[in-house]
Amino acid sequence: MADSKADKARKAAGSIGLVAPMGKAALAQAPRADEEWQLPGGSARVYYGEGRQGVVRPVVLADGFNLGPTDFDWLWDGLENGRFPFIGELRRRGRTLILVGFDERSESILRNAETMTAAIMRTIAEQLDDTRLLVGGFSMGGIVARYALAKMETQRMDHRVGVYASFDSPHRGAWVPIGLQAFAHYLAAAGDDTYLRQIGSPASQQMLWRHLDALDGTPRESPLRRAFKEQLERVGGWPRIPRLIGVSSGRGDGVGNGVRAGAKALTCAGPLFDGTYFLAQPKGEDVEVAVLDGVLGGPHTVTTSGFPELDGAPGGTLESFGLVGDTLRAFGENVDMVHRSVCFVPSVSAVAIRDLDRQENLYAVIDELPPEESDLDDFLLSADNDPHAVMTQEIGEWVLDRLPD
């Protein structure tokens, strides 16, 4: 019986996704692209604007984080078949859309920036008109594009970009609950480190505000993140030629998502992880955020010190606990989920206006701050704390109104 439970725990460990369900196919396939480009470390799908027969008035957008290669069906489906048909509206305006994907989305941002640079240069070479480009990306893709453009400028490469756009990108860092990071290490003991490989990947460590490197470790800024920030500063931090715009999936009035600090977010009652539970991140010193127990041993108590109330903060949300809970339930675990979703990219991070280390910064009323305090030239906050990087009508139309002429 114990072996059977351990085997189930191993299979569950190999099925948990960090930002999306593992192995789930998109609801709809992307249409055939007008062109497909093979790039170093990735590829691009090119969709001409309506009535066009080539690359005209191009918009180049990079995919975000996940494990493995870009799934263009997922990328297309989210942009076109959700709340707002962004791709259709873009093409209706005669714009060519170039979606840039990566062979390994969890690879270093520095490495995937090389793919983005190649995509920009290919776009320039193929372009039939002289309209300046809009270049950007979704979530991590916005950071990839930011670094690529800044580096191109330091190398005096003409990127011909008029507007840079980031979609809920973690300019000041992203957040995954420390309890879940600890759970990834705990699950790796079952013999499958799929969840851990996502959290511990180079891109994840470069984006996460705090990272946990061992089950009994202390959460801190990853050396990979520190090195990436230093490298970003070496190329100027931001591109200086284009207009910088960004959108947040979170609110700007300081109102959080309703997740109460210290409340139980997810509780397991066996047969695999009986006694395991996770708490929403509270303030304070040496505060409990999770207890891990079950067939893999324990109990292990996970604590943090000096953190603000990150799970409930204003910002784009991710089903961080929901993805774990749904997977465990599918393998027979009795699960009580009070909070499926928590903050993933705080609003202050997405619009690059405050750091995440202090409660008053995290919950700042951005609407009342001088906009020039942001690193961006212009930004938009959402009416609610929406799912991370979701394409809403408000966001889609705002970006479309700012396309370069």
pLDDT digits 0-9 by tens, 95-123: 999 999 999 999 999 999 999 999 999 99
> What is the tens place of the pLDDT at every residue in 280-300?
999 999 999 999 999 999 999
- Average pLDDT value for the chain: 96
3-state secondary structure of 143: helix
Compute the distance between CA of residue 108 and CA of residue 400 in angstroms, rounded to an integer.
Answer: 30
> What is the tens place of the pLDDT at every residue in 301-353?
999 999 999 999 999 999 999 999 999 999 999 999 999 999 999 999 999 99
Q: 78: phi > 0 → left, psi -120 to 50 → alpha, else beta; which?
A: alpha
User: Dihedral of the CA atoms 189, 191, 196, 200 (nearest 10)?
Assistant: 90
Whether pLDDT at 212 is above 70: yes
Q: Which residues contact 351 (CB under 8 A, 6 or more apart)?
A: 171, 246, 248, 252, 366, 374, 376, 379, 381
> What is the tens place of the pLDDT at every residue in 7-62?
888 899 899 999 998 878 888 899 999 999 999 999 999 999 999 999 999 999 99
pLDDT of residue 109: 98
**282 DSSP 8-state letter:** P
pLDDT of residue 7: 87
Compute the distance between CA of residue 149 and CA of residue 168 in angstroms, rounded to an integer.
Answer: 18
Residue 263 — very low, low, confident or very high, per pLDDT cuts 50/70/90?
A: very high
Task: Give me the residue label for tokens 């970009």.
Answer: 161
Measured distance between the N- and C-terminal CA atoms of the chain, rounded to whole angstroms: 67
Compute the distance between CA of residue 195 and CA of residue 324 in angstroms, rounded to an integer.
Answer: 10
Rounded mean pLDDT, 61-66: 98
pLDDT of residue 171: 98
Q: Can you say how many angstroms the Cα of residue 222 is from the centroid of all Cα atoms in its chain?
A: 17
pLDDT of residue 242: 98
pLDDT of residue 190: 83
Cite the DSSP H helix spans in 173-219: 178-188, 194-199, 202-207
| Token digits of residue 71 | 């799934």
Compute the distance between CA of residue 133 and CA of residue 403 in angstroms, rounded to an integer.
Answer: 8
Residue 154 — very low, low, confident or very high, per pLDDT cuts 50/70/90?
A: very high
Whether pLDDT at 3 is above 60: no
**102 and 202 Cβ atoms separated by less than 8 Å:** no
Residue 1 — very low, low, confident or very high, per pLDDT cuts 50/70/90?
A: very low
pLDDT of residue 300: 97
Compute the distance between CA of residue 303 and CA of residue 358 in angstroms, rounded to an integer.
Answer: 18
**247 and 398 Cβ atoms separated by less than 8 Å:** yes
Whether pLDDT at 149 is above 50: yes
Calculate what percentage of the chain has a pLDDT beyond 90: 93
pLDDT of residue 48: 98
Largest CA distance in the chain: 68
Which residues partner with 93 through β-bridges?
none
Whether pLDDT at 218 is above 70: yes
**351 and 265 Cβ atoms separated by less than 8 Å:** no
Residue 372 — very low, low, confident or very high, per pLDDT cuts 50/70/90?
A: very high
Phi, psi for 220 (deg, rounded to 5) = -155, 175
DSSP string, 45-104: EEEPPTT-SSB-S-EEEE----SSS--HHHHHHHHHSSSS-HHHHHHHTTPPEEEEEES-
Rounded mean pLDDT, 191-198: 93
| Token digits of residue 58 | 């191009």
Q: Which residues contact 230 (CB under 8 A, 6 or more apart)?
A: none
Please return the burial class of 324, using the count of CB atoms within 10 Å of its CB with bins 0-12, 13-18 and 19+: buried
Task: Give me the residue label for tokens 């490989």.
Answer: 197
Whether pLDDT at 2 is above 80: no
pLDDT of residue 364: 98
pLDDT of residue 155: 97
**391 and 83 Cβ atoms separated by less than 8 Å:** yes
pLDDT of residue 5: 87
